[in-house]
Every structure is written in C-alpha cells, then in structure tokens.
Amino acid sequence: MNRLFRFFYVAFGLGASATALAAAAANWSHYLGDAGATHYSSLKRIDTSNVKELKVAWEYHSGDVAENNRSQIQCNPLVIDGVLYGTSPSLRLFAVDAATGVERWHFDPTDARGGLNRGLTWWQEGKERQVMYAAGRFLYAIDPATGQPIERFGTHGRIDLADNMDRDVAGMYLVSNSPGAIYRDLIIMPVRVGEGPAPAAIGNVRAFDVRTGQRRWIFHTLPHPGEFGYDTWPAEAWKTVGGVNNWPGLVIDHERGLAFMPTGSASYDFYGADRVGANLFANCLIALDAATGERKWHFQFVHHDIWDRDPPAPPVLCEVMRDGKKIAAVAQTLKSGHVWVFNRETGESLFPWKEEPVPASKIKGEAAWPTQPLPSKPAPFARQRLTEDELTTRTPAAHAAVLKHLREVDSGHIYEPPSERGAVLMPGTDGGGEWGGPAVDPKGIMYVNGSEMAYTFQLVPTAMFASGPKGLYAQICMGCHGPKMEGNPSANIPSLINVGTRLKAEDIANLLRTGKGVMPSFNFLPNSTKDALAQFLMAPDAEQAALPRDDAPITAPPTAYISTGYNRFLDPDGYPGIKPPWGTLNAIDLNTGEYLWRRGFGEEPKPYVAGGRPPGTENYGGPVVTAGGVLFIAATTDEKFRAFSTANGEMLWEVRLPAAGFATPATYEVAGKQYVVIACGGGKQGNRSGDAYVAFALP
C-alpha cells in the first residue's frame, strides 16, 4: 500500500480511487505537505526541463507589515480544493483563490496577538470542515467557507491554551507557533513557553476534541510523582521547572495510531543546578498513542541540556531499506546538524550510536551529564567544533581578531559547557538544523538545509549585580538584550539603549505585561515591579529605587548564573568568523547514511573576498521536493527563491522576492496547472519585512 493510498484509506476511509488520489496530489493539505511532514509532492508538471520558465502567477499582500521591519511571516500555507489559507504578519487568517490570489475573506484575532505562526491545520469529516490555527495562546476553529469562528468550539470558536495544563501558568509566556496535528476527532497541540530563568510555563502536550475544544488527554512532559521518568529530576521539579515543550510540532502515523513528538529543553536553557539529573522528557523524540497519550517509546538526544540543543523541527515519517526489507522509519534532525533515524514501531536506531564522554562543567552547582549520545551515521551536516583551522581568512586583520577571540574562550568539544570564561557552541542555537525541517522523498533521500554559525556563551553570577531593578534586569532581560542593553538586531532583539527616547515608561510596563514578537510576557511580575523595571530601563544610570517590599518579583528561586546573551562569533566587520560556506544544502541517503551531494546555499549580499566558493548564508525555512525532480527553497538572507535538481544539487532557477522567504513553500495544482507559493515576510537577520505571498507557475 503506497503512502498516498494509505493516507486516504486510514484518514478518510476511502478506497483511494483515481479521483481521490488526484485530489490529494493537487492539494497541500497538511503543514509541511502531509501527515508525515515529508515536504514531498507527487506533482511533476514543473520539472527540471522547464522550471527555468517559471513566472509570477499572482501576488497577495495582506497590508499589515510592521513599519519597524520587525514583523515576519513563517507560514507554510494550506491549499485545499483551489483555495489557499495562510496567515499574515499580524496573525490574521485569510483565504485567497489559489489560481489568482484574490482574497475571499480574512479573520482578525484582535486581542490574540503574540508569537508567530508557522502553519495551519485542516479537519474534515463528512460535510464538516474547519481550519484550525493558533494566534498567541488561543486556538481557533474557523469555518473555511466564511472565515467566521465555529461557535461550538470552546468559547465562541476558541480555547485558551493556558487552561487545563495541570499546573498554574497564569501570567507566564505561553503561545503556539506551530500547528496542531489531527488524529481522528482530536487535535494534538504544540506550545512554546519561556526559556529564561524567570518562572516558565511547563510544556505538557494535550489533545483536544476538534468539535468542542474539550481536553481529551494530557501527557506530562515533566513527569509527576509515580510517572515514568520522575526519578530523572529533583523531587519537587515537576512543580516549578518549565520548558520541556513540543514547540516544533509533531507528526501522525495514522496506520499505527502513533504521534511522534520532539520536545524542547528545560528552562533555564544554560544553567540547570535546580534540575540535576538526565531530565526526561526534555530533548526527546517520543512516540505516543495518538488516541490516549500513552508513551510507547522515547529517545533522549541530550541529557540535562545546558546548550539549548533541542530538536528544532517535526520529525519525518519515511521508509528505508535494511537488509533487503522496507522499514517504516521516523527521522529527526537536530540543531547540532545530526540526523537520527528510528524504527517507528520499536524506537530502535537504524544506525549504530554510542554514549560519548563529554567535559564536566566548571560552574558552581552545575552537574553536566557525563556522556551524550552521538550517531555513527549520517555524518552531521554542520561543523561540530570551532578550531583555529576553521577561522576566517577573509583578511589578515579579520583572522587576527577572531583568533584572539577564540583563544579567550573554551572551545575544545561539541558539548563544551557554558562557563564564566565563555564557551563556543558550534553550530549555534539556531542550528545546524532549524524549524523549517527537511524533505524526504519516497526513495528515502533526505534534503536538508543547514546553517554554519558559531555562537559564544558566557555565564555571569547574578550576585555581581545589585539588587533592585538592575538585578531584576539581569535575571529576566540580560539573556536576550545583553549586559550592555545593546540587543541583537540579527536575532530581531532590539537595543534598549536610550529606549526612553522611543517609549514611555507605561509603554514599557505594558510590553512587560503582554510580550511582543519574540519577547515573552512577564505578567507574573506584580504591576509595581513592572513599573520599577520600566523606570530603570528609561534611566539605567540613575540612582536605583528598591523594588517594592511587598512584591515577590520572581516566584521561583532566582538562578545563580545568567547568560550574557546569544552572541554570534563574528569578525570585526560583521561577517561570520569562520570560513565559508555559512549555509548548505545536503542530500542524504537514509538507506545507507551516505551523502549524495552537498553544496553552498545562499549568497552573502555584501562584497566578500574569498577563494572562489560562494559563502552561503544562515537560512530559515525548509525545502519542498517534487516528483518532477525539483527542490524548491527560499530561506536565505539574500531574499531569493531557488530551484535545484534533486539528482545532483545543480541550481536550475532563481528569482528575487519582495522580501526574504523565511518560510517553507507549498506546491499545488488548480485546473491542471501546477503552482509553487512562498510567504515573503522577511524581518530576520536585519532583512526588511514584507506582507506578500507570491505564487509562480509556468506560462
């Protein structure tokens, strides 16, 4: 039974008629293509011989791009029966004619801002149909014919994902960036939660009734007393430690009734003295019974994570050959650039692996785990450590500067623990692999884009900061905005220097309450404490007032150490401090674990003097692969959309977009014509923001 037949038979009870199969191929009916997130389409009207003839078929502009160039669109849209459903920079949901781009309707979630949106979920049974999507912490069920909320779902068409978590998360950051996955009449939902040292919500995974919004089951990602894995944490950790959340999304094996779910690291990301132990189920791939939430098997990629090394994308369901037999497999990419491949039914790794000894932490109170698992194959698709041989040779001055920097920090191991001296993480916290995820074709060939960027992390003891607002800044703000408040424009984190010239104190206090973009909410702080912190940010050099005595600004024990931020390892001119390529495309045969081809991906827009090979760029958003032998991907900071040959990686076509396409494209067919569409939202790495979806087709 082939993959498409199996999907229709199991999900809809159809006999997979020729008409049904054609309709399935014409649609892009799931986030990342299908229930297994393969990013694959059987369409082949566009192929290697004619892809160079692609032209713009239509553009849709939502009209709500942010003026400060900090809005984004990361949505992989759905296309069902000639209608495209997507989201805008401000998280409006819209429907347009997939052949013309003419808008049919849009829905504005108004008070439900927060976070980003990477995709949508479609549910259909008989004549019942609904589009489900999250805006901020709310999950909506929308009538795809009218764009109106479906009243029977939750309260007037939505539920609050902060409810029914089996722990009080009131006032804490909790949103859903990635779409849920459907199993029968359930939607299983991912959530994104805070990762800092302040109180963070827990990331328990829940299934909700698609008709009513009622919770049907919950899986405690940080086990409660008596549950499997409880002994991998301190006894009271289940009450206070946050994170351990399925933020990238999940996939469903409908035939086996299994949900495959990757989980993030526990908070705080870079210091874990309050969570001594291996910390199940953080940093795992977990196979759950999709109907009940019961754990079937799990594999932990990182024990006691202090590097923010969580799986960044949904896994992919695929089939690979072993000893002449076809094995149902699930493949997971990691930020580290590793690919793990497992037997879906047993959880057995299909390539050998072992626990490797890793360095101990030098930080007081930290108990780094003594070993970490590493697979023998495939080889990682990103460099694993930064050596002097890998430093830039762009100019003698640039090389001398980064060499000096490297010799001032710890850099000996891929799992070099964060330290007060500073440590190199290679690749950095954005990967390696990132949230766009890989494509896998029916032959078991994986196509994955990777970034090549080193980061440095330095831990500082919070005791060195005064109490009061400055100490509170160190606890909850410095990890992103840095010790000097300079921010990180390439990561979309603004500078807070002279913020008082741009905002009023009440505006800052309100942002602390609501959060915005990548900034979480700090509504757990009492209002008087938020006001005091806002006044400090307005005038950090002024004499500090004490925090209000009747307030408890941090309800969990404050962390003893805090990171100075996400610092890219750059040369003095702002280029990566390593030799190119800085971004790659890779084709990996999952049957053998061997690479079929590998190439640089993306062009550095600024002039670069190097030995002839294109530098490549950091990239965000995944590929789409088709039966026509074409791989489509945007993702790069150079604002281009490209097509490559899946056979050898040759670039076949490229076009400039109105803004960078930091999203995964979709391909579909209407009236016999194949289209490929990409969201052009920009807004990362210093790129301008956009509000467009652009579709291409053959003339």
Query: In this structure, what are the phi and psi dihedrals at residue 396, rounded to the nearest 5 degrees?
Result: -60, -40
**Residues 539, 532 contacting (CB under 8 angstroms):** no
**Residues 642, 653 contacting (CB under 8 angstroms):** yes
Which residues 6+ apart lie within 8 Å of 222 measured at CB?
202, 204, 233, 237, 238, 241, 244, 266, 281, 282
The most distant pair of C-alpha atoms in the chain lies apart, rounded to whole Å, by 75
Per-residue pLDDT at 610 exceeds 60? no
Which residues 6+ apart lie within 8 Å of 644 measured at CB?
585, 630, 631, 633, 650, 651, 652
Q: Average pLDDT, stretch 648-664?
A: 98
Q: Per residue, what are the HEC states of 547-576?
A: CCCCCCCCCCCCCCEEECCCEECECCCCCE
For residue 217, give the amino acid letter: W
Paired sense of beta strands 371-375 and 353-357, if any: antiparallel
- The CA-based angle 141-142-148, given to 5 degrees, is 135
Q: Average pLDDT, stretch 631-635?
A: 98
Q: Which helix (H) or strand (E) holds 187?
A: strand 186-189
Dihedral in degrees, nearest 10, Cα atoms 509, 514, 517, 520: 90
Higher-confidence residue of 549 and 591: namely 591
pLDDT in tens, 318-375: 999 999 999 999 999 999 999 999 999 999 999 999 999 999 999 999 999 999 999 9
Return the axis-axis angle of helices 469-476 and 527-538, rounded to nearest 10°.
90
Joined tokens for residue 222: 């940080």
Q: What is the pLDDT of residue 491?
A: 64
Distance CA 95, CA 54 (A): 24
Distance CA 187, CA 84 (A): 21
pLDDT in tens, 46-68: 999 999 999 999 999 999 998 88
Per-residue pLDDT at 9 exceeds 60? no
Higher-confidence residue of 135 and 486: namely 135
Per-residue pLDDT at 557 exceeds 70? no
Q: Average pLDDT, stretch 574-598?
A: 96
pLDDT in tens, 268-291: 999 999 999 999 999 999 999 999
**Residues 623, 631 contacting (CB under 8 angstroms):** yes
pLDDT interval class at 531 (50, 70, 90): confident
Distance CA 660, CA 176 (A): 23
Paired sense of beta strands 40-41 and 624-626, if any: parallel
pLDDT interval class at 487 (50, 70, 90): confident
Which of 411-415, 508-512, 593-597 has the largest mean confidence? 593-597
Smallest CA-to-CA distance from 247 within 163, 311, 157 is with 311
Q: What is the pLDDT of residue 365?
A: 93
User: Quick one: CATH architecture of 459-564?
Assistant: Orthogonal Bundle (1.10)
Range in 27-31, 312-316, 484-488 with the lowest mean pLDDT: 484-488
> How many C-beta atoms lie closer than 10 Å to residue 346's C-beta?
11
Smallest CA-to-CA distance from 91 within 138, 59, 129 is with 138
Q: Average pLDDT, stretch 9-19?
A: 47
Q: Average pLDDT, stretch 41-48?
A: 98
Distance CA 158, CA 142 (A): 9
Per-residue pLDDT at 154 exceeds 70? yes
pTM over 0.85: yes
Per-residue pLDDT at 123 exceeds 50? yes
Which residues 6+ apart lie within 8 Å of 10 measured at CB?
254, 255
Q: Average pLDDT, stretch 203-221?
A: 98
- Over the chain, what is the mean pLDDT? 91
Burial of residue 326 (CB within 10 Å: 0-12, 13-18, 19+) is exposed
Joined tokens for residue 259: 């949900």
- In the chain, pLDDT over 70 holds for what percent of residues? 91
Task: Say which residue the tokens 């050099």 belong to.
Answer: 541
Helix (H, G, I), strand (E, B) or coil at 513: helix
Helix (H, G, I), strand (E, B) or coil at 26: helix
pLDDT interval class at 99 (50, 70, 90): very high
**Ramachandran sector of residue 523 (left: φ over 0; alpha: ψ -120 to 50; beta: rest):** alpha
Q: What is the DSSP string of 577-643?
A: SBPSPSEEEEEEETTTTEEEEEEE----SS----SSS-----B-S--EEETTSEEEE--BTT-EEEE
Which residues 6+ apart lie within 8 Å of 635 measured at CB?
436, 449, 601, 602, 619, 620, 621, 622, 623, 661, 662
Q: What is the pLDDT of residue 411?
A: 95
- Ranges in the chain annotated CATH 1.10.760.10: 459-564
pLDDT interval class at 495 (50, 70, 90): confident
pLDDT interval class at 499 (50, 70, 90): confident
3-state helix, strand, coil in the chain (%, to 5): 15, 30, 55
Distance CA 613, CA 591 (A): 30
Query: In this structure, what are the phi and psi dihedrals at residue 373, rounded to the nearest 5 degrees?
Result: -80, 140
Q: What is the pLDDT of residue 518?
A: 66
Per-residue pLDDT at 552 exceeds 50? no
Q: Average pLDDT, stretch 17-37?
A: 85
Asked if the bond preceding 581 is cis, omega within 30° of 0, the reply is: yes
Q: What is the pLDDT of residue 399?
A: 97
**Residues 598, 512 contacting (CB under 8 angstroms):** no
Q: What is the pLDDT of residue 544?
A: 67
Range in 52-66, 123-137, 373-387, 555-569 with the lowest mean pLDDT: 555-569
Q: What is the pLDDT of residue 665?
A: 98
Asked if the bond preceding 270 is cis, omega within 30° of 0, the reply is: no
Cross-strand pairs, 516: 519
Q: Average pLDDT, stretch 684-689?
A: 90
pLDDT in tens, 411-425: 989 999 999 999 999
Per-residue pLDDT at 301 exceeds 90? yes
Joined tokens for residue 326: 């076809």
Joined tokens for residue 648: 């050898």
Per-residue pLDDT at 612 exceeds 70? no
